[in-house]
Amino acid sequence: MRRGAVSMGNVLIVDDEPAIVELVSWHLKKAGYAVDTAESGEEADRKVREGNVDLVVLDVMLPGMDGLSLCRSWRDDGIGIPVIFLTARDDEVDRVLGLDLGGDDYVTKPFLPRELVSRVKAVLRRAAAGSHRPGGTSHEIRVGDVVIWPQEYRVEVAGRPVQLTAREFTLLTVMASKPGRVWTRDELLDQVWGYTYAGDTRIVDVIVSHLRDKIEENPRKPRYITTVRGVGYGFGGSLEWGDR
């Protein structure tokens, strides 16, 4: 980052491969981010809990505490810091499990540094409180017992506060902003992730499953997030397919 420039955010890179750390650090700094690094899960855990970290780029395979266990411990303790996982190209199980544990995104090795920088920008933009305001409104969104405050990054269900990851919050806000509208998976990818996932729409299914576990009284018989077979998902109301 240039001397005197304002940081776009503080990114912690957690990887035990020096070449990857050096490459990612250089590109993130060039893009305007402040960068810190950690070589182990334990070191990363300490730095995150000390604060001053806005996003973690986290390798799945680490000495000691692995990346998946580390993310799980943060989510269990209510630490909602955005996490982008680095995984091997053939580790599909790790990618899905990482998202299921509360990760916000993943990048497969080998990767293009500019792709990672793009995803860091997208995740941080959506993690900022109130950064996504459907329909241009800053007011609360209320559907049944679900109340969302986009600016305050806050959700309650029947008066009960619900802790969501940045990705879960954005997906919920997008769908709840138009009750009754059916969203295709591709539309949700575009609205929530802001770029195309090369056809891998299962990431939407993972986040929807997470949301149901958190906001539905009975996730197996959802009241709010409804599946429209062969199309996608809708939130509340009488579901219709198309823009409203």
List the pLDDT tens digit at each of the 244 positions of the chain. 444 444 578 999 999 999 999 999 999 999 999 999 999 999 999 999 998 899 999 998 888 888 888 988 888 887 878 899 888 755 555 566 666 667 778 888 888 888 899 889 888 877 664 444 344 444 788 888 999 988 777 899 999 999 887 778 889 999 998 888 999 988 888 887 765 444 467 788 888 998 999 999 888 888 899 998 888 999 986 555 444 3
**Phi and psi, residue 205, nearest 5°:** -60, -40
pLDDT of residue 95: 60
C-alpha distance across the termini of the chain, in Å: 44
Contact 3, 29 (CB under 8 A): no
Give the sign of the dihedral formed by CA 23, CA 24, CA 25, CA 29. positive
- Give the helix, strand, coil percentages of the chain, each rounded to 5: 40, 20, 40
What pLDDT shows up at residue 88?
Answer: 75
What pLDDT, on a 0 to 100 scale, did the predictor assign at position 244?
39
pLDDT of residue 140: 84
d(CA 41, CA 39): 7
Q: What is the pLDDT of residue 196?
A: 46
Q: CB 53: neighbour CB atoms within 10 A?
A: 20
Residue with tokens 């580790």, as numbered in its chain? 91
pLDDT on residue 5 = 46
- DSSP, collapsed to helix, strand or coil, labels residue 210 as helix
For the chain, the domains span 10-127, 134-241
Q: Which residue carries 């993130």 as its tokens? A: 28
Give the CA diameter of the chain. Answer: 55
What's the pTM value of the predicted model, to 2 decimals?
Answer: 0.61
Burial class (CB in 10 A: 0-12, 13-18, 19+), 229: exposed
- Vertex 169, ends 112 and 189: CA angle to 5°? 45
Around Cβ 46, how many Cβ atoms within 10 Å?
A: 11
Architecture of domain 134-241: Orthogonal Bundle (1.10)
CATH class of 10-127: alpha beta
